[in-house]
Structure 1
Amino acid sequence: MNRTELASVLRRSRERIAPGDVGLPSGSRRRTPGLRREEVALLAGISVDYVVRLEQGRGPVPSPQVLGSLARALRFDAAGRDQLFHLAGVPPPGPGTIDMHVRPSVLRLLDRFADLPVVVMSAKGDVLAWNEMACALQGDWSAIPPHRRNINRLRFLPDPADPPMSGVGATAEEFAATAEQSVAMLRSAAARYPDDAGVRALIDDLRRGSALFVDLWNAGRVGGWRSHTKTVRHPVAGAIVLDCDTLHVPDVDQSLIVYSAAPGTPAAESLALVRVLGMQSWDGGTVRR
């Protein structure tokens, strides 16, 4: 582990990223260029003390999960991610594993959807990146610990400690259809990545903790994300019926999920309201922007 160079890379990378680049407020009283250590810790789902120790060349060897989270938080490309792993003395992810790294070109595409909610999802349903509109519509993704940012984990294994998020589905039938689709997606991912430890651990947790998941899993349906209509229950704007389109990034097997509405429709007006409200409606009126 090259602690000195690892610390230098982490500091330089943090200082080159503007808060707005990662969906965080810039504020008017920033005394340091780029991101604060607290913001890196929030995005990566680790403690501030851990970030401090890494930047000071102290502490234990980071796990692959921590290194992957830091690479995503700091917007490394694939070469930068691999360098981070090598500096830590840890082999980078190899072939046959689900790609959890969102490359900068996809993040730039995400940034272009300024007025539409968009999330980037891994092959097994991990929410890897999002824009401000996604948080305004769905809830604050950065407040959810990284290991819980998975649609099946959130759906089938709810945790009272999770922050408030918008519900999905206006009827029992719609909820059942989306649940079936997400499980079919996971079953397909498990077939494509039989050696991926993360997908095996996720399925084991879901099978132990949710009878509904077991029923849907045993049904044996497979398939990827399909474009469809989805009802999102926002705490202020109410139920919004949106088109939900999937843009696949084939070489990394990731998907951009884009929510939109036809111009002039009630749903488009509701999305405009959500954009104005931003995050003000979440957590009893706490402004998180």
Structure 2
Amino acid sequence: MTGKQELARFLRGRREQLVPADVGLPGEPSRRTLGLRREEVAELAHMSVDYYARLEQARGPRPSPRILDALTGVFRLTPAERGHMFRLAGTEATPLAAPVRTVRPHVTALLRRIPDTAAIVTDALCDVIAANASASAVFGRDYGARPNLARRRFLGSTMESSGAEEFAHILVARLRRSTDRYPHDPALARLLAELRAGSEEFTQIWDTGPVHAPGHRSKTLIHPEAGPLRVNCDVLTVPDDDQQVVFVTADPGSPSERALRQLVSAGRDFSAR
């Protein structure tokens, strides 16, 4: 099967998976078409019906990045699906406009199902875009207001930690990766300018080009109320959205685990008042 044929099959499959309501179009009780019509896709993507039909019939020319990005929006493709479509088209993928800043429902549900574990979700800018009640109890109530971890680490007061230097390198490495993926995102540009202007440490680390992969790390947090807490930080990546879920736990039966449980319990009591 040729690249054109594979692209045609991919486009047909995505079109047939959608219904009018998915893209804001009114439904029709007597509708017989499986999924969207070609005419509807063409209109939403701002291209001629003939051009789109030729793409689905493997008769069209190599589509431009503009055409493929338009189809990405119509079909609501994930970054992974978008990259796959560009490869099928034999076209170099353009940088993504901006990172995903919403959390998928199943990830939010995961945070609710582990109430005794402090868990947060961060996006490609290191913004905390979701946190459960336990995370707010352990790290501070502003975690519910979507703080930025890089700003907290380099520009503001943050909880002392035995791994503060390593954490700084991890944050910078992630932001460097984000500049490669989202070179035109204004929010990322503003964040980097703010960090460079306000932190010599950030600039120095940035210039070294650090590389860090998410994984398991242990550190000691100095909590203002509970004192030293020896915790484990484990990261689950959400590749399609360029997000990370961070779980903070303590070894079972340890003094730190008991202290974490007390903090979480106190946080629940506070919320119930």
Contact 2:130 2:144 in 1 (8 A): no
Contact 1:100 1:122 in 2 (8 A): yes
Superposition deviation, residue 143 in structure 1: 6.4
Q: What amino acid sits opposite 1:275 in the alignment? A: V
Cα 1:253–1:143 change in 2 (3 A) is: closer
Superposition deviation, residue 129 in structure 1: 0.5
Superposition deviation, residue 113 in structure 1: 1.1
1:157-172 matches, within 5 Å, as: 157-158=155-156, 167-170=159-162
Q: Percent identity?
A: 33
Could you list the per-position Cα deviations for residues 93-149 of structure 1 after superposition, in whole angstroms to 9, with x for gaps in the alignment?
x943111011211101111111000000001210001000001101102564x5xx1
Gaps of 5+ in 2: 1-75, 78-94
Q: Is 1:278 paired with 2:267?
A: yes
Gaps of 5+ in 1: 1-77, 80-93, 160-164, 281-286
Q: Computing the radius of gyration over CA atoms, which structure comes out larger, 1 or 2?
A: 2
Q: SS at the partner of 2:178?
A: helix
Instruction: Find the counterpart in structure 1 of residue 148 from structure 2.
Output: 150
Q: SS at the partner of 1:98?
A: coil
What is the root-mean-square deviation of aligned Cα atoms in Å?
A: 2.3
Contact 1:188 1:223 in 2 (8 A): no
Q: Is 1:183 paired with 2:172?
A: yes
Q: What amino acid sits opposite 1:261 in the alignment? A: A
Contact 2:219 2:232 in 1 (8 A): yes
Instruction: Find the counterpart in structure 1 of residue 134 from structure 2.
Output: 133
- How many residue pairs get aligned? The number is 180
Instruction: Find the counterpart in structure 2 of residue 198 from structure 1.
Output: 187
Superposition deviation, residue 243 in structure 1: 0.6
Q: SS at the partner of 2:235?
A: strand
Q: What amino acid sits opposite 1:210 in the alignment? A: S
Q: Distance in 2 between matches of 1:115 and 1:264?
A: 14
Q: Distance in 2 between matches of 1:115 and 1:279?
A: 11
Q: SS at the partner of 2:241?
A: coil
Q: What amino acid sits opposite 1:105 in the alignment? A: H
Q: Distance in 2 between matches of 1:222 and 1:151?
A: 18
Q: What amino acid sits opposite 2:161 in the alignment? A: G
Cα 1:237–1:279 change in 2 (3 A) is: farther
1:78-97 matches, within 5 Å, as: 95-97=96-98
Could you list the per-position Cα deviations for residues 210-247 of structure 1 after superposition, in whole angstroms to 9, with x for gaps in the alignment?
11111111111133433201222222211101110000
Contact 2:121 2:243 in 1 (8 A): yes
Q: Is 1:121 paired with 2:122?
A: yes
TM-score normalised to structure 1 length: 0.57
Cα 1:227–1:96 change in 2 (3 A) is: farther
Q: Distance in 2 between matches of 1:233 and 1:224?
A: 25
Q: Distance in 2 between matches of 1:193 and 1:105?
A: 25
Matching residue within 253, 258, 264 for 1:269: 258
Superposition deviation, residue 184 in structure 1: 1.2
Q: What amino acid sits opposite 1:234 in the alignment? A: H
